[in-house]
Structure 1
Amino acid sequence: MTAIAAAGAGRDPVKYILIATISLFWGLNWPAVKTILTQMPIFSLRAIGFTAGAVLLLGAAKLAGHRLRVEREEWPALAAGGLCNVLVFNLCTALGQSLMPTSQAAIIAFTMPAWATLLAIPLLGERPGRRQILGLACGLAGLLVLLGPEALSAPPSALASALAGPAVMLVAALAWALGTIVMKRRAWRSNPMVITGWQYVLCALPMIVLAGSEARPALSELHAAVWVGFAWHIVCSICVAQALWYVTVRRLTVGEAAVSTLLIPVVGVGGAVLLLGDPLTLRLAAALVLILAAVACVLIRPARR
């Protein structure tokens, strides 16, 4: 554990690779999910994704020689982390994208660093330093610039409908932050693929029940873009990125891990521009600069003499 902590605190190249991979996979997952939702209802989407994720991750863990049995004392944290990080977050992000533009939904979801950094103070005893506070401020400023003033105001007659999407996405951000704290507090013996696989098992069960009440198109009716979206969502986001996120949380402090996720909405917005045809504006460029500055403040530290 000492070696891992030292690596997370210094110039550890692995953490940059982890952050870049997670940012790419989760960032492009936003336009992928938006594409899937054009034909697949929310509960069915999550039932398929969670079930496939459970099968693939536990199968890969078994082939890699990892023990699938989880220690009894790890189950409460595993279930609580799965409830927050997997079930609530994924349901809210899917619902949020159906209520508001994908780019705005992604931005609100990634206010998570603010909540995680604040929750880590009383729950983990972490104290953010000056660079982390500066990075957090830059990141939140970037998110606010990207969101824009018009997204924060609405006429009174449309206030309830205008706030529905942001409120759902705020719940997603809070759930992700709390789930990150839960996963960080536990000294895990089980492999991250095993942990994530069992979380998907627990979360798939209610989704399968709820999906039974939805009307779904036949497989032959799904467009090619939806199939591509499913492939990216299941393999890259559900399986690889979620497992790597738990590895990242182990290597970094909650503050570092949380602020590093600010790259994900940059990738998500870029994907929306390229894949969904969203306009590229000066506001997007300004937000990109602020968010990259936030990541640099937190992760690039001067070498110690």
Structure 2
Amino acid sequence: MNFFKQHKWSIPVIILLVTLIWGYAWVLMKEGLQYMGPFTFSAFRFSIGTITMFIILWFLKISRPPKWAYKHLLVVGSLQTALMFLLVMYGLKFVEAGKSSVLLYSMPIWSTILAVLFLNEKVTKPKVIGLALGLMGLLTILGWDIWFNQNPGVILGEALIIISAIGWGASNVYYRKHLSQLNQMQTSAYQMGFGTLGIMLVTFIMEGGQPIEFTPYSIYLVIFTGVLASAFCFTVWFYILNLIDMVTATISTLLVPVFGLLLGWILIEETITWSIFIGSTLILIGIIISTKSKKPRMT
């Protein structure tokens, strides 16, 4: 935390790194469905992420959180790990990786609404403009096919991912309200641990006994998403939420679908259209306007 306070330039750099990793993780999650069920993939991913986090806690000699925090960590873990990724991974069965990332990152609008209601955060005019441009970009990327000519499977997948976006927004606000004073590594490890238990239970019920194909590539998919996209990025995300206001932080995550779409096109040949290009440009402009409107809140 002190490093970020002393080197303010590091905040946008670390946000860029986290969003790039998360964008790439969308491609890997989609690829993982070729080797195992969606819930099974999530169970492996977050089990590895949780083990990694607790090894780090042990190495750094970070103690357990206070007793009062466990119920709040359970809520955050249920929303941000279990609910979000169970729904996202199942939705990925029907929706392309790039478009799935776009749907999930409607999260800023839910975070903004909930932050205003429960955290009394002020939304300045530049932030409203930035958020509006970002959402226009998301709608442009999705195109009219979100409303017309969809088959039931695609509609179900998109609906599940939007619900997961609302859950993520709620978890961000809940964290700021109840757990922001807790050590960020404690928060990341324990919420992930609680969420993983929920994912494992659902996996046992829904996919117990289904075949799993282990190859060097499928193992890489699980390890990358578990160690980097989960353990590393979620820990850094909690640091970010303590350093800058909720609206700026969540709007910055709109970079993730831009990276997800671009990497989906490069790596697994998903289609990028003019609507995707124009929408991505609107997202970037929105981020610049919103983040330049107020200096980062250093605590």
**TM-score (norm: length of structure 1):** 0.89
By how many angstroms is 1:166 displaced?
1.6
Do 2:84 and 2:164's aligned partners in 1 also have CA atoms closer than 8 Å?
yes
Q: Deviations over 1:102-161 (max 9, x none)?
A: 222111111000111011111000110011101101100110110011232127xx4x44
Matched, 1:93 2:103: no
Aligned length: 293
Matched, 1:199 2:230: no
Change (3 A) 1:228 1:280: same
- Separation in 1 of the partners of 2:24 and 2:12? 18
Matched letter for residue 200 of structure 1? M
- The residue matched to 2:93 in structure 1 has which SS? helix
**Can you give the 5+ residue segments of structure 2 that lack an aligned partner in the other structure?**
none
- Separation in 2 of the partners of 1:187 and 1:26? 23
- Separation in 2 of the partners of 1:64 and 1:4? 17
Do 1:99 and 1:165's aligned partners in 2 also have CA atoms closer than 8 Å?
yes
State the percentage of identical aligned residues: 21
Do 2:111 and 2:170's aligned partners in 1 also have CA atoms closer than 8 Å?
yes
- The residue matched to 1:79 in structure 2 has which SS? helix
- Separation in 2 of the partners of 1:272 and 1:20? 18
1:164 matched residue in structure 2 = 156
1:70 matched residue in structure 2 = 65
By how many angstroms is 1:187 displaced?
4.8
- Separation in 1 of the partners of 2:209 and 2:31? 18
Do 2:39 and 2:89's aligned partners in 1 also have CA atoms closer than 8 Å?
no
1:55 matched residue in structure 2 = 51
- Separation in 2 of the partners of 1:294 and 1:183? 25
- Separation in 1 of the partners of 2:202 and 2:76? 21
Matched, 1:300 2:284: no
Matched, 1:40 2:32: no
- The residue matched to 1:28 in structure 2 has which SS? helix
- The residue matched to 1:139 in structure 2 has which SS? helix
Matched, 1:215 2:209: yes
Say which of 111, 114, 122 aligns to 2:109.
114
**TM-score (norm: length of structure 2):** 0.91
Do 1:41 and 1:214's aligned partners in 2 also have CA atoms closer than 8 Å?
no
By how many angstroms is 1:302 displaced?
7.5
Change (3 A) 1:302 1:168: closer
2:97 matched residue in structure 1 = 102
- The residue matched to 2:272 in structure 1 has which SS? coil
Q: Which moved more, 1:168-177 or 1:191-200?
A: 191-200
- Separation in 2 of the partners of 1:132 and 1:281? 28
Q: Deviations over 1:264-288 (max 9, x none)?
A: 1011111101111112322222112
Change (3 A) 1:127 1:275: same
- Separation in 1 of the partners of 2:248 and 2:117? 17
Q: Deviations over 1:55-79 (max 9, x none)?
A: 1101112212222x11122222211
The alignment yields a C-alpha RMSD, in angstroms, of 2.3
- Separation in 2 of the partners of 1:17 and 1:240? 15
Q: Where do residues 1-305 of structure 1 align in structure 2 (5 Å cutoff)? A: 12-67=8-63, 69-154=64-149, 158=151, 160-212=152-204, 213-217=207-211, 221-301=213-293
